[in-house]
Structure 1
Amino acid sequence: MPIHLNLPETFSAQLAKAERGLAGMWVCSGSPLVAEICAGSGLDWLLIDGEHSPLSLESIQLQLQAVAAYPVTPVVRVPENNSVTIKQYLDLGVQNLLVPMVNTPEDAVAAVQAVRYPPQGMRGVGSALARGARWNRVENYLTRANDEFVSLTVQIETAQAVENVAEIVGTDGVDAIFIGPSDLAASMGLIGQQGHPDVVACVRESIVAAKAAGKPVGINAFDPALANQYLDEGMDFILVGADVAMLARGSEKLADDFIAARLGSVNDAERASY
C-alpha cells in the first residue's frame, strides 16, 4: 500500500505568513553535499541557481533531495523563461521557481502559463512519471498543483523591466518579484555600479510597485550594511551570500593568514608562485 504524501508549503505561502524579511543564500556549486550543509545553516531559504551555475537536471534533483530533510525553503532559478525547461524543473520536484529576465507583461504571462496546468496554463502532464507529484503519491496533485504546490517569482533586472514593473507584478499568477541590481546596472550602461543613484532609483521604483500591488519583493545584497538597511525598510526576502563566494573569500583569508602574513607583504606575482 503506497504512502500518501503532501508537499511542503511554497515560498509564497512562507512569505505570506512571515513577520520579518526572509534571509537566504545562493547555492551555486552544484554539490548536493554543499546544498545540505547550507540547508542546515538556519537560513530561511536557499536559491539553487540553474542560470549561472553548472547544474544539470539530475544535479538539481539531487540537491532538492538533499535539502528536503531540513526546515529551509528551496527556490530554484531556471536558466531562461522557457516552457520546456520550466516543465522539466517542476517535474523534478521544484515547487518554487525564480524566472530571470522577465522584461514585459507578455514575459510574465508566459512564465505563469508555463507553471500552470490547463486550462489556466500549458504545463505538460507527466505527474505519474515525476518526483514533482511523488510519482502520483500526492493526492489530487493535478487539480491542486496550480493553487497549492507551485509559486512563481520573476526577476526585475533590466531597465525595460523597471518600465513595465507595475504590469509585471500585477500579472495574475506572479507571486513575487526579485530585483537583480547587477544586471539592472549593466542594462543601464552602468555595469558594476549597483550603487549608482540611477540604479538605486530603479530599485526603489520596483519596490514601490510591488508594495502597491500587494506582492512580496526581494533583492540580492551581499553588502551586510545594505542588506540590513533593506530588511529594516521592510524588504520581504533577501539573498545575503553565496556558497562559492564564501568558499573563495574564506580560502583567500587562509592564504593571507598563514602565508602572506608570515612572508610579509607580497604582490600578486609572488603569491602565484606559492
Structure 2
Amino acid sequence: MDESGLQNFLKRLRSGKANYMGWSGLSDPMLVGYIARAGYDAVLLDQQHGFHDTASCISCISEAALTGTPIIVRVSVNDFAQAARMLDCGAAGVVAPMINSAADARRFVSHVKYPPLGQRSFGPGRAMQLSSATDDQVFVQSANGNTLAIAMCETREALDVLDEILNVPGLDGVLVGPADLSLALCSGIMDPNGSAVRNATLDVARRSRAKGKIACAFAGTVERSRELVRDGFQLVSVEYDEKVIADAFAKVLNEAKQV
C-alpha cells in the first residue's frame, strides 16, 4: 500500500487517537474494497473464524492498496509462519489469537519481526512492491516499526499475566476478543457485553496504554464501539461484514413490504 497511508495510520494509532476497523470474514476482494472505500482506517481479514485463506488475503491486500487502506490479518491459533507470510504479502499487521503467556508472545514476535527483535525470514517481495520500496536494507531497517504484531487477550490466563505479555519487546499491542473472554470469565456462558467482560476490557485498555502499547478491541455493535473508544481503545472494529450485509438486506426488504 502507499507508504504515506500506512505512516498516517501508524501515527494516529500511536498518538492515542481512535481508529475504526472494518472486520472481514467473507473472502471477496470487491467486498473488502467496499469496506475500505467506506472510510475505515483499516480492514481486518479473518482467517481464524472467517473464510479468508492465503489467496483471498493476497487479493484483498492488493484491492485495499488501491485506496491506501492498511490491511491487518488475523491468523489461526499458533500459525505464526502464516503471520510472517501475510506481512511478506503486504499486510500492515497481524493478529495472533490465544496468546496466553509472555513465552507465547515472544514466539509470535520472533516470527514477525526482523532481528534484533525477532528472527523473521527475509522475503517480502510483494510487500516491497506495494510500498514501492527498492532497497532491501532500507526496507529491513524500517519494517519492524512499520508492521504491527498484535496479540489477542481472550482468556483468564492472559489477563493474569497481561503486564508480562505487554513487556515483550516487539509486541505492538493487544486485541480483546469479547466472546472467548466471556466464556473464560463466565464459566462457559456467552455474555460478551456483561459486566465481567466490560470490567476486564476496561482494565486491558488501561494497562496497555500504561505500557505504551496499542489497545484494540472487537465491537459487535456501533454502540459498543463508541463505548470502547470512550474507554481508551485506539483501534476498534465496528460490527462485521456478514452482519452488516444481512441487516442491510433485511432492512431493505422490510421497507419494501411497508406498502
Q: TM-score range, shorter-chain basis? A: 0.7 to 0.9
Q: Secondary structure at the match of 2:149?
A: strand
Task: Name the structure 2 match of 1:110.
Answer: 107
Do 2:22 and 2:237's aligned partners in 1 also have CA atoms closer than 8 Å? yes
Stretches of structure 2 lacking an aligned partner (at least 5 in a row): none
TM-score, scaled relative to structure 1 = 0.83
Q: Which runs of 4+ in 1 moved over 6 A?
A: none
Q: Secondary structure at the match of 1:227?
A: helix
Q: Secondary structure at the match of 2:49?
A: coil
Q: Hey, what's the Cα distance between the residues in 2 that align with 1:95 and 1:149?
A: 7
Determine if the alignment matches structure 1 residue 96 to structure 2 residue 89. no
Q: Hey, what's the Cα distance between the residues in 2 that align with 1:226 and 1:202?
A: 15
Q: Secondary structure at the match of 1:33?
A: helix
Distance 1:33 1:210, change over 3 A: same
Q: Hey, what's the Cα distance between the residues in 2 that align with 1:170 and 1:67?
A: 32
Among candidates 123, 127, 131, match of residue 126 of structure 2: 131
Determine if the alignment matches structure 1 residue 194 to structure 2 residue 192. yes
1:137-156 alignment to 2 at 5 Å? 137-139=133-135, 140-141=137-138, 143-156=140-153
Aligned-pair CA distance for 1:257: 3.3
Task: Name the structure 1 match of 2:60.
Answer: 63
Distance 1:13 1:101, change over 3 A: farther
Task: Name the structure 1 match of 2:203.
Answer: 205
Q: Secondary structure at the match of 1:117?
A: coil
Q: Hey, what's the Cα distance between the residues in 2 that align with 1:169 and 1:257?
A: 48
Aligned-pair CA distance for 1:229: 2.2
The percent of aligned pairs where both chains have the same amino acid is 22
1:228-243 alignment to 2 at 5 Å? 228-243=226-241
Determine if the alignment matches structure 1 residue 157 to structure 2 residue 168. no
Aligned-pair CA distance for 1:22: 0.6
TM-score, scaled relative to structure 2 = 0.88
Structure number with greater Rg is: 1
Q: How many residues align?
A: 254
- Which moved further from structure 2: 209-218 or 174-183? 209-218
- CA shift digits 1:15-64 (9 cap, x unpaired): 1145x311122011111100111111112121111111222211101000
Stretches of structure 1 lacking an aligned partner (at least 5 in a row): 263-274
Aligned-pair CA distance for 1:103: 0.9
Q: Hey, what's the Cα distance between the residues in 2 that align with 1:223 and 1:142?
A: 38
